Amino acid sequence: MGQSNNLGSIGNTPLSELGLGELMPDGSTREQAMGEAGAAAPSREHISLLNPANLWYNRQVNLEVGLRTSIRHGRSGAGSVTAARFTPMHFTMTLPIAEPVTLALGLRQFSAIDYTVSAARPLAADTNVSFRNSFGGRGAISQAMVAASVRLAEGLTLGAQGLYWFGTQQRYSEVELNTLGLARSTSSRVSDVSARVGATYRLQLPGGKRIGLGLVADLPRQLRTQDEIVLDRYSINALSGTRTFLSSDTLLRMQNGLLQAPRSLRAGLSFEQPQRYTVAVDLVRELWAGVVPLGTPGNLQDAWRGSAGVEWVPNVNGQGYRNYISYRAGLYGRQLPFSVNGTRMQDIGLTLGLGWPVIRKEARYTRPVVNTNLNLGLRQGPTEAGSFREAYVNFTLGIVLNDSQWFTRFKID
């Protein structure tokens, strides 16, 4: 059985209660617009975050910043909630240091927790006695990245990525009886490193077309944590509702622990006509078994994710701005690693995106790009009445600077 929870009362982002929280997209803004497919579809203008082996194709200094706004509407039984969240997703930079090697540096958010569940009612035995129970969570885990990609032969590139994990997640539960309350807070601070490796092979076909194969694997991730559990007692002013803390006990203080972080195995195929169109398909196996986040039930399950996407540019050599815009679309479907009410949760979605080039006459071969994406998705589990469903809309903005002229110092004779 997977992790099972009853989400009869829902908060801001209720599914972030489960697992390691709300997982952020793994790909760049281009890859997200293609359904987060692209392990075998590198780009000269865009940084690949799905496969470090694709970084070699960035043969000049590239910078990318990704920002996302998410609007979610969740419903469970008679309760519902609508919430919005703004998230800086990633900042990445590539540096080609030699003909066969490209380096990359970056920072991205891996997951976030943001939920609150609360219920208040009088006791059946005495209606003059009020009882309230609530629990929630806050916090995020981020990753700092350094990567390198090298070309070994024509069409064959290998890549490796080192990740430094950092951040704190906190979960709490409170019980209040009339004017007395008891709160238990559990926090876990993550600080450790892991690695990812990848390979890409692109075969040249007649007519200039290419077919590509990409493979990516995360190495085993045992992350060190420092865990703390605190128990607080407080009183509540019946008129104002303000709290006065009475005592605090630390049940667990900065104890060293281990977190079995999730790993993934990704395979991708691509077919492309350079500077015209790209078709990409990815299949991912997410390894969640053994991951036990602090303060939550375990029994997470391994999961599958499939995605497919296309990118089309009308005519890069044509006349008119519309010919230079990149049009992107994608589909994805995935299992979530947990269950709700005993049934496995599913996540399906549609992505649409546009890449708006910034035209500069002195940049003949590459252009800065502004990417705008729209993602429509639905998460659901059981189909019976009272089951949990969450519809979401994500708006993504990506700013890509990849014009070599911007980093060149000119000398006037």
Domains of the chain, by residue range, sit at 4-134+143-163+194-217+261-407
User: Quick check: 193 and 210 in contact, CB under 8 A?
Assistant: no
Global confidence as pTM: 0.83
Predicted local confidence at residue 145, as pLDDT? 95
- Contact (CB, 8 A) for 148 and 159: yes
What does the angle CA 13 – CA 32 – CA 363 come to, to the nearest 5 degrees? 135
Per-range mean pLDDT, top range of 55-59, 76-80, 196-200, 354-358: 196-200
Q: What is the mean pLDDT of residues 211-232?
A: 89
Residue 263: CB partners within 8 Å, gap ≥ 6?
217, 218, 219, 220, 221, 286, 287
* pLDDT on residue 221: 77
Which of 134, 174, 173, 171 has its CA nearest to residue 11?
Answer: 134
For residue 388, give the nearest of 163, 88, 79 by alpha carbon. 79
Return the beta strands (E) in 294-368 as ranges.
303-312, 326-340, 343-357
The average pLDDT across 33-37 equals 95
> Which pLDDT value is given to residue 7?
34
pLDDT level of residue 223 (50, 70, 90 thresholds):
confident
Q: Is the confidence at residue 398, as pLDDT, over 70? A: yes
Pick 218 or 1 by higher pLDDT.
218
Band of residue 249 on the pLDDT scale cut at 50, 70, 90: confident
Q: Using alpha carbons only, give the angle 50, 406, 33 rounded to the nearest 5 degrees.
A: 30
Which tens digits make up the pLDDT trace of 2-23?
333 333 333 456 566 666 778 8
Note the pLDDT of residue 403.
63
CB neighbourhood size of 331 (10 A): 16
Residue 385's Cβ-count burial label (10 Å; 0-12, 13-18, 19+) is exposed
Q: What are the start-end ranges of the E strands in 10-129?
A: 22-23, 62-76, 79-98, 101-122
pLDDT digits (tens, 9 = 90+) for 323-332: 889 999 999 9
- Please report, rounded to a whole number, the percentage of residues in the chain having pLDDT higher than 90: 41
H or E segment at 387? none
Percent of the chain predicted with pLDDT > 70:
84
Q: Which residues pair with 393 in a beta bridge?
A: 71, 376
Residue of higher predicted confidence among 244 and 210: 210
Torsion angle of C-alpha atoms 20, 22, 28, 29, degrees rounded to 10: 180
Q: Report the distance separating Cα 32 and Cα 304, nearest Å.
A: 17
Question: What is the per-residue pLDDT across 261-275, written as a single tens digit (0 to 9) for each?
Answer: 788 999 999 999 988
Cβ contact 313:353 at 8 Å? no
Architecture (CATH level 2) of domain 4-134+143-163+194-217+261-407: Beta Barrel (2.40)
Tell me, what's the pLDDT at 271? 97
Confidence class for position 345, pLDDT limits 50, 70, 90: confident
The answer to whether 22 and 111 have CB atoms below 8 angstroms apart is yes
